[in-house]
Amino acid sequence: MTLYIFLTLAIISIIMALLVVLSRNPVHSVLFLILTFFTIAGQYILLNAQFLAVVHIIVYAGAIMVLFLFVLMLLNLSRDTEPQKSALWKISGAIAAGSLLVTLVGAMRGSIALQIPEAENPGVGLVENLGQVLFTDFVVPFEIAGILFLAAMVGAVLVGKRDLKL
């Protein structure tokens, strides 16, 4: 049963990711990418990483993709204004990405021998456990992430201002 859920989600996410890349209209690309993110959130739930699944939906589908959609509609980009690369570029891109896929799969096939620990903890992805780790072992990176957000916010506002007077 779990295997079937995994396979369904995986096939849907790969098809949606291909549609993101191949659809002409950028707005359609954004919508397909949101569907891809929902399937990835489904994988997180399957992995019992519930905190990650919720944060993934809130951050990606709720914030980042809305930002992308907002910018696309602000700039009024659609199928007519979409710049296209030539067929030669597309074929060479497909060959390059396919070679990367074959190389990675060939390199990793049969080389993954995972030692699953005996005393395992199924609640590793729950909020309680993750909060403990985040605020004890990773408290300095957490604070640095806050500073990074502040810097990104100031940078985005400064970049977006029309006439900057310092």
Partner 1 sequence: MLEIIRQIPIDYYVWLSTALFCIGVFGVLIRRNAIVVLMCVELMLNAVNLLLAAFSTYLSDAQGQIMVFFIMVVAAAEAAVGLGILVMIYRNTKSTDISLLDKLRN
- Binders in 40-99 for partner 1, by CB under 8 A: 40, 43-44, 46-49, 51-52, 55-56, 59-60, 63-64, 67-68, 71-72, 74-75, 77, 81-85, 89-90, 92-94, 96-98
34 exposure class (CB count in 10 Å sphere: 0-12, 13-18, 19+): buried
The span from the CA of 48 to the CA of 39, in Å, is: 14
How many residues make contact with partner 1 (CB under 8 A)? 85
User: Smallest gap, in angstroms, from Cβ of residue 150 to partner 1?
Assistant: 10
Q: Does 127 bind partner 1 (CB under 8 A)?
A: no
Distances (CA, A) of 24 to 1, 8, 16, 27, 66: 36, 26, 14, 9, 19
Binding map of partner 1 across residues 15-34, x = CB under 8 A, - = no contact: --xx-xx----x--xx--x-
